[in-house]
Protein backbone atom coordinates (compact mmCIF):
# COMPACT_ATOMS: atom_id res chain seq x y z
CA UNK A 1 0.00 0.00 0.00
CA UNK A 2 2.81 2.37 0.91
CA UNK A 3 4.54 1.54 -2.37
CA UNK A 4 1.32 2.33 -4.26
CA UNK A 5 1.03 5.66 -2.44
CA UNK A 6 4.64 6.43 -3.28
CA UNK A 7 3.99 5.68 -6.97
CA UNK A 8 0.90 7.87 -6.94
CA UNK A 9 2.75 10.72 -5.22
CA UNK A 10 5.61 10.45 -7.71
CA UNK A 11 3.25 10.44 -10.66
CA UNK A 12 1.44 13.50 -9.22
CA UNK A 13 4.72 15.39 -8.90
CA UNK A 14 5.71 14.37 -12.42
CA UNK A 15 2.36 15.38 -13.93
CA UNK A 16 2.36 18.71 -12.03
CA UNK A 17 5.83 19.49 -13.39
CA UNK A 18 4.88 18.55 -16.94
CA UNK A 19 1.65 20.54 -16.81
CA UNK A 20 3.52 23.52 -15.37
CA UNK A 21 6.05 23.43 -18.24
CA UNK A 22 3.36 22.99 -20.89
CA UNK A 23 1.34 25.80 -19.36
CA UNK A 24 4.36 28.14 -19.46
CA UNK A 25 4.80 27.37 -23.18
CA UNK A 26 1.03 27.71 -23.70
CA UNK A 27 1.11 31.19 -22.16
CA UNK A 28 4.11 31.99 -24.34
CA UNK A 29 2.03 31.10 -27.43
CA UNK A 30 -0.66 33.45 -26.12
CA UNK A 31 1.95 36.21 -26.06
CA UNK A 32 2.95 35.27 -29.63
CA UNK A 33 -0.69 35.64 -30.75
CA UNK A 34 -0.87 39.09 -29.16
CA UNK A 35 2.39 40.16 -30.85
CA UNK A 36 1.22 38.65 -34.14
CA UNK A 37 -2.03 40.59 -33.98
CA UNK A 38 -0.18 43.82 -33.20
CA UNK A 39 2.33 43.15 -36.01
CA UNK A 40 -0.44 42.52 -38.55
CA UNK A 41 -2.23 45.69 -37.46
CA UNK A 42 0.92 47.81 -37.70
CA UNK A 43 2.70 46.34 -40.75
CA UNK A 44 -0.47 45.84 -42.81
CA UNK A 45 -2.24 48.93 -41.49
CA UNK A 46 -2.71 50.52 -44.92
CA UNK A 47 -3.96 47.24 -46.40
CA UNK A 48 -6.44 46.83 -43.54
CA UNK A 49 -7.56 50.46 -43.68
CA UNK A 50 -8.34 50.13 -47.38
CA UNK A 51 -10.32 46.91 -46.76
CA UNK A 52 -12.58 47.82 -43.81
CA UNK A 53 -14.32 44.42 -43.78
CA UNK A 54 -11.06 42.87 -42.63
CA UNK A 55 -10.01 45.84 -40.52
CA UNK A 56 -12.26 45.01 -37.58
CA UNK A 57 -11.62 41.28 -37.39
CA UNK A 58 -8.32 39.46 -37.86
CA UNK A 59 -5.79 41.40 -35.72
CA UNK A 60 -8.20 41.96 -32.84
CA UNK A 61 -9.34 38.33 -32.81
CA UNK A 62 -5.70 37.24 -32.49
CA UNK A 63 -5.06 39.75 -29.71
CA UNK A 64 -8.25 38.74 -27.88
CA UNK A 65 -7.44 35.04 -28.17
CA UNK A 66 -3.94 35.70 -26.84
CA UNK A 67 -5.31 37.59 -23.83
CA UNK A 68 -7.73 34.72 -23.08
CA UNK A 69 -4.84 32.23 -23.24
CA UNK A 70 -2.81 34.32 -20.78
CA UNK A 71 -5.73 34.58 -18.33
CA UNK A 72 -6.46 30.85 -18.56
CA UNK A 73 -2.75 30.11 -18.14
CA UNK A 74 -2.51 32.14 -14.92
CA UNK A 75 -5.54 30.35 -13.47
CA UNK A 76 -4.04 26.98 -14.49
CA UNK A 77 -1.04 27.53 -12.23
CA UNK A 78 -3.35 27.90 -9.24
CA UNK A 79 -5.39 24.82 -10.23
CA UNK A 80 -2.23 22.74 -10.69
CA UNK A 81 -0.58 23.46 -7.36
CA UNK A 82 -3.77 23.52 -5.30
CA UNK A 83 -4.87 20.20 -6.81
CA UNK A 84 -8.56 21.05 -7.42
CA UNK A 85 -9.89 18.13 -9.43
CA UNK A 86 -13.06 19.89 -10.61
CA UNK A 87 -11.16 23.03 -11.65
CA UNK A 88 -8.66 20.92 -13.57
CA UNK A 89 -11.49 19.39 -15.59
CA UNK A 90 -12.96 22.85 -16.14
CA UNK A 91 -9.51 24.01 -17.27
CA UNK A 92 -9.42 21.12 -19.76
CA UNK A 93 -12.79 22.15 -21.20
CA UNK A 94 -11.70 25.78 -21.55
CA UNK A 95 -8.47 24.75 -23.29
CA UNK A 96 -10.51 22.53 -25.61
CA UNK A 97 -12.68 25.53 -26.50
CA UNK A 98 -9.56 27.62 -27.14
CA UNK A 99 -8.21 24.87 -29.40
CA UNK A 100 -11.50 24.75 -31.33
CA UNK A 101 -11.43 28.57 -31.67
CA UNK A 102 -7.89 28.44 -33.08
CA UNK A 103 -8.85 25.76 -35.61
CA UNK A 104 -11.99 27.66 -36.65
CA UNK A 105 -10.01 30.90 -37.01
CA UNK A 106 -7.34 29.24 -39.14
CA UNK A 107 -9.98 27.50 -41.27
CA UNK A 108 -11.98 30.69 -41.75
CA UNK A 109 -8.92 32.66 -42.87
CA UNK A 110 -7.95 29.88 -45.30
CA UNK A 111 -11.46 29.48 -46.74
CA UNK A 112 -11.98 33.23 -47.15
CA UNK A 113 -8.58 33.79 -48.75
CA UNK A 114 -10.04 34.34 -52.21
CA UNK A 115 -12.72 36.62 -50.78
CA UNK A 116 -10.08 38.79 -49.12
CA UNK A 117 -8.10 38.96 -52.34
CA UNK A 118 -11.12 40.01 -54.41
CA UNK A 119 -12.21 42.49 -51.74
CA UNK A 120 -8.78 44.08 -51.85
CA UNK A 121 -8.94 44.44 -55.62
CA UNK A 122 -12.45 45.88 -55.63
CA UNK A 123 -11.85 48.38 -52.84
CA UNK A 124 -8.50 49.60 -54.20
CA UNK A 125 -10.05 50.14 -57.63
CA UNK A 126 -12.85 52.17 -56.01
CA UNK A 127 -10.36 54.26 -54.02
CA UNK A 128 -8.30 54.93 -57.16
CA UNK A 129 -11.40 56.31 -58.88
CA UNK A 130 -11.83 58.78 -56.00
CA UNK A 131 -8.17 59.81 -55.82
CA UNK A 132 -6.97 62.35 -54.62
CA UNK A 133 -9.92 62.84 -52.27
CA UNK A 134 -9.28 62.25 -48.58
CA UNK A 135 -9.05 60.26 -46.35
CA UNK A 136 -8.35 57.31 -48.68
CA UNK A 137 -5.65 59.29 -50.53
CA UNK A 138 -3.26 58.89 -47.62
CA UNK A 139 -4.06 55.16 -47.29
CA UNK A 140 -3.30 54.29 -50.91
CA UNK A 141 -0.22 56.55 -50.93
CA UNK A 142 1.13 54.78 -47.86
CA UNK A 143 0.31 51.40 -49.41
CA UNK A 144 2.11 52.15 -52.68
CA UNK A 145 5.07 53.74 -50.91
CA UNK A 146 5.40 50.98 -48.34
CA UNK A 147 5.10 48.07 -50.80
CA UNK A 148 6.92 49.88 -53.62
CA UNK A 149 4.11 49.21 -56.06
CA UNK A 150 1.78 51.18 -58.34
CA UNK A 151 -1.84 50.51 -59.25
CA UNK A 152 -3.64 47.20 -58.83
CA UNK A 153 -2.15 44.95 -61.50
CA UNK A 154 0.28 47.52 -62.93
CA UNK A 155 0.95 51.27 -63.15
CA UNK A 156 -1.34 51.45 -66.22
CA UNK A 157 -4.40 51.05 -63.96
CA UNK A 158 -4.02 54.75 -63.07
CA UNK A 159 -4.62 55.68 -66.72
CA UNK A 160 -8.20 54.40 -66.33
CA UNK A 161 -8.95 56.83 -63.48
CA UNK A 162 -10.02 60.48 -63.57
CA UNK A 163 -6.73 61.41 -61.91
CA UNK A 164 -4.39 59.71 -64.37
CA UNK A 165 -6.46 59.34 -67.54
CA UNK A 166 -5.93 62.79 -69.05
CA UNK A 167 -2.17 63.18 -68.68
CA UNK A 168 -1.18 59.52 -68.34
CA UNK A 169 0.16 60.20 -64.87
CA UNK A 170 0.54 58.32 -61.62
CA UNK A 171 0.69 59.61 -58.01
CA UNK A 172 3.95 60.68 -56.41
CA UNK A 173 3.77 57.58 -54.21
CA UNK A 174 4.49 55.43 -57.30
CA UNK A 175 7.90 57.05 -57.71
CA UNK A 176 11.13 55.33 -56.83
CA UNK A 177 13.49 57.10 -54.45
CA UNK A 178 15.59 59.18 -56.81
CA UNK A 179 18.46 61.44 -55.83
CA UNK A 180 19.78 62.58 -59.18
CA UNK A 181 16.64 64.02 -60.80
CA UNK A 182 12.93 64.69 -60.32
CA UNK A 183 10.56 61.76 -60.77
CA UNK A 184 8.91 61.71 -64.20
CA UNK A 185 5.36 60.58 -63.49
CA UNK A 186 3.31 62.46 -66.11
CA UNK A 187 3.08 61.79 -69.87
CA UNK A 188 4.81 58.51 -69.19
CA UNK A 189 6.86 56.94 -71.95
CA UNK A 190 8.71 53.69 -72.17
CA UNK A 191 12.19 55.22 -72.05
CA UNK A 192 11.82 56.85 -68.62
CA UNK A 193 9.20 54.54 -67.19
CA UNK A 194 11.42 51.86 -65.68
CA UNK A 195 13.82 54.39 -64.22
CA UNK A 196 11.40 56.60 -62.34
CA UNK A 197 8.33 54.67 -61.12
CA UNK A 198 7.42 51.22 -59.79
CA UNK A 199 5.68 49.29 -62.55
CA UNK A 200 4.47 46.27 -60.54
CA UNK A 201 0.92 46.28 -59.17
CA UNK A 202 0.09 46.26 -55.47
CA UNK A 203 -2.20 43.22 -55.77
CA UNK A 204 0.56 40.83 -56.85
CA UNK A 205 2.92 42.33 -54.26
CA UNK A 206 0.43 41.77 -51.42
CA UNK A 207 -0.40 38.23 -52.56
CA UNK A 208 3.30 37.37 -52.87
CA UNK A 209 3.96 38.70 -49.37
CA UNK A 210 1.11 36.59 -47.95
CA UNK A 211 2.09 33.41 -49.83
CA UNK A 212 5.75 33.74 -48.86
CA UNK A 213 4.67 33.67 -45.19
CA UNK A 214 2.19 30.76 -45.48
CA UNK A 215 4.67 28.24 -44.05
CA UNK A 216 5.56 30.60 -41.19
CA UNK A 217 1.91 31.21 -40.28
CA UNK A 218 1.10 27.52 -40.70
CA UNK A 219 3.98 26.52 -38.43
CA UNK A 220 2.89 29.01 -35.78
CA UNK A 221 -0.70 27.74 -35.89
CA UNK A 222 0.38 24.07 -35.70
CA UNK A 223 2.72 24.80 -32.79
CA UNK A 224 0.09 26.81 -30.93
CA UNK A 225 -2.50 24.05 -31.46
CA UNK A 226 -0.13 21.34 -30.17
CA UNK A 227 0.24 22.71 -26.64
CA UNK A 228 -3.49 23.04 -25.82
CA UNK A 229 -3.96 19.40 -26.82
CA UNK A 230 -1.04 18.35 -24.60
CA UNK A 231 -2.41 20.50 -21.76
CA UNK A 232 -5.83 18.85 -22.01
CA UNK A 233 -4.33 15.36 -21.74
CA UNK A 234 -2.05 16.27 -18.81
CA UNK A 235 -4.79 18.12 -16.90
CA UNK A 236 -7.15 15.15 -17.20
CA UNK A 237 -4.39 12.73 -16.15
CA UNK A 238 -3.51 14.91 -13.16
CA UNK A 239 -7.16 15.17 -12.10
CA UNK A 240 -7.50 11.38 -12.35
CA UNK A 241 -4.34 10.80 -10.29
CA UNK A 242 -5.48 13.30 -7.65
CA UNK A 243 -8.78 11.44 -7.29
CA UNK A 244 -6.91 8.14 -7.04
CA UNK A 245 -4.52 9.58 -4.43
CA UNK A 246 -7.39 10.81 -2.26
CA UNK A 247 -9.12 7.42 -2.51
CA UNK A 248 -5.94 5.66 -1.37
CA UNK A 249 -5.58 8.03 1.59
CA UNK A 250 -9.14 7.29 2.69
CA UNK A 251 -8.43 3.57 2.55
- Asked if residues 72 and 90 have their Cβ atoms less than 8 Å apart, the reply is no
How confident is residue 181, by pLDDT bands cut at 50, 70 and 90? low
Alpha helices in the chain (DSSP H): 2-43, 45-50, 52-55, 58-82, 85-111, 113-130, 136-147, 162-165, 190-196, 202-212, 214-250
Residue ranges per structural domain of the chain? 1-82, 113-250
- Asked if residues 199 and 150 have their Cβ atoms less than 8 Å apart, the reply is yes
**pLDDT tens track for 74-121:** 887 777 777 777 888 888 888 888 788 777 777 776 776 677 677 778
The pLDDT value recorded for residue 69 is 83
The topology (CATH level 3) of 113-250 is Cd81 Antigen, Extracellular Domain; Chain: A (1.10.1450)
The answer on pLDDT for 247 being more than 70 is no
**pLDDT tens track for 53-64:** 555 566 777 788
How confident is residue 24, by pLDDT bands cut at 50, 70 and 90? confident
pTM of the model: 0.61
Amino acid sequence: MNWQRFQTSASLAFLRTLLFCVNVIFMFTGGILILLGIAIRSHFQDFLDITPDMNSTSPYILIGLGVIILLVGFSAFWCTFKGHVTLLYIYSVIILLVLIAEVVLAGTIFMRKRTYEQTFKTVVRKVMQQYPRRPMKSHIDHLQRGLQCCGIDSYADWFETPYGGTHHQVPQSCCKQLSNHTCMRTDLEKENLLNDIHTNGCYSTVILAIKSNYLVFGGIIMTIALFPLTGIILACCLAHQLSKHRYERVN
